[in-house]
Amino acid sequence: MIAVRHFLLAAATLWACVLPASKAVAAGHGTTPVAVTMGSVAMDIPVEMIRRMSALTNYLALSTNLGVRFRPSPNLGSAVDDLGRGQTQIAYLTPVAYIEAHRKYGVVPLVAPTMHGHPSFSLVVGVKAGSGIATPAGLKGKRFAFGDEKALLQKAAVESMGLKVAEFSEIAYLKHYDNIAKAVLAGDFDGGILKDSVADEFRAKGLRVIGSTPPLPSYVFAVRADMPVAVRNKLRDALLALKKSSPDGVATLEAFDAAYDGFAAVDDKSYDPVRALIQPYQK
């Protein structure tokens, strides 16, 4: 309950100015910008998420003349439901969160961030350098850290490397990839699942990658199906124009995620490989 109260306090000033869902994309009269509320899966603590997303929402507001605001979500499930129920109109989602939002609410993929020009990423297994664990098999009977309990892709990724979740002596859900990396380096866990870009950030601090998935379709910005086409196109075009080749693009992308160099258009079929990977783990 304490953590929930802290989350609500951190986000209260933002939530207070969010328009009701029924008015969110219909408020543009005269010179008043159309209001668009952006959501996101919880990649970090709320205060850090607000910092990371502020540069992007400011860029979109200036580039589109839309009233873009950010509304943080405490977990993956809330991000999906906020978008589906109209509390947000666009959201930054993991592949699994997008698949769930598309299935439940018919949301539409807009663009995905790129690394080295490609809208893909990998999930990796990390251990502390010098631990003596050189392969994923070496983690059998060891302590292992995951992120969100609903992140089916993390479990599927680990098992695709020849590990079974039941074979760990202990598992925990630490919410954010940064938390996982820090816990592994501190010796609290013998290994953990990480996004490749996060693993890269912690290599110099003693993290070692011992297993990886093939490239997977990236996180995605998705929008409600009932978003007006003109609004959708403005958001899409502004995101596609955001590149690290421009000073403004560098500052915005570095704040959002330093590993990203731009955005690419994607469609629903792009996420079929993830659907196939998580299918055995869906209830």
3-state SS string for 118-156: ECEECEEEEEECCCCCCCHHHHCCCEEEECCCCCHHHHH
| Number of Cβ within a 10 Å radius of residue 222 | 26
pLDDT at 95: 95
Q: Are residues 147 and 222 in the same domain?
A: no
Q: Are residues 110 and 190 in the same domain?
A: no
Range name among 1-15, 41-55, 127-141 with the lowest pLDDT average: 1-15
Q: Are residues 207 and 241 in the same domain?
A: no
State which residues form the domain around 154. Answer: 123-213
Would you place residue 21 in the very low, low, confident or very high pLDDT band (cuts 50, 70, 90)? very low
Average pLDDT, rounded, for the chain: 88
Would you place residue 80 in the very low, low, confident or very high pLDDT band (cuts 50, 70, 90)? very high
pLDDT at 31: 63
Q: Which two tokens stand for residue 197?
A: 């870009």
Residue 28 has pLDDT above 60, yes or no: no
β-bridge pairing 108-114 and 262-265: antiparallel
User: Between 95-105 and 76-84, two packed helices, what is the crossing angle to 10 degrees?
Assistant: 30
pLDDT at 3: 43
Q: 279 burial class (0-12, 13-18, 19+ CB within 10 angstroms)? A: exposed
Q: Are residues 206 and 95 in the same domain?
A: no
Among 42, 151, 157, which residue's Cα sits nearest to residue 100?
Answer: 151
**144 pairs with which residues across the strands?**
171, 191
pLDDT at 49: 85
Number of domains forming the structure of the chain: 2
Residue 76 has pLDDT above 90, yes or no: no
Q: Are residues 131 and 101 in the same domain?
A: no
Q: Are residues 74 and 141 in the same domain?
A: no
Last residue of a domain, one of 213, 244, 269: 213
CATH number assigned to the domain comprising residue 130: 3.40.190.10
Q: Are residues 225 and 86 in the same domain?
A: yes
Last residue of a domain, one of 213, 241, 261: 213
Per-residue pLDDT tens digits for 139-149: 999 999 999 88
Last residue of a domain, one of 181, 213, 245: 213
Q: Are residues 153 and 172 in the same domain?
A: yes
Instruction: Look at the block and give the residue holding tokens 């309990």.
Output: 149
In Å, what is the CA distance from 193 to each residue of 21, 168, 171, 172?
36, 13, 11, 11
Query: Burial letters for 101-121: b for 16+ Cβ neighbours within 10 Å, e otherwise?
Result: bbeebebbbbbbbbbeeebbb
pLDDT at 17: 38
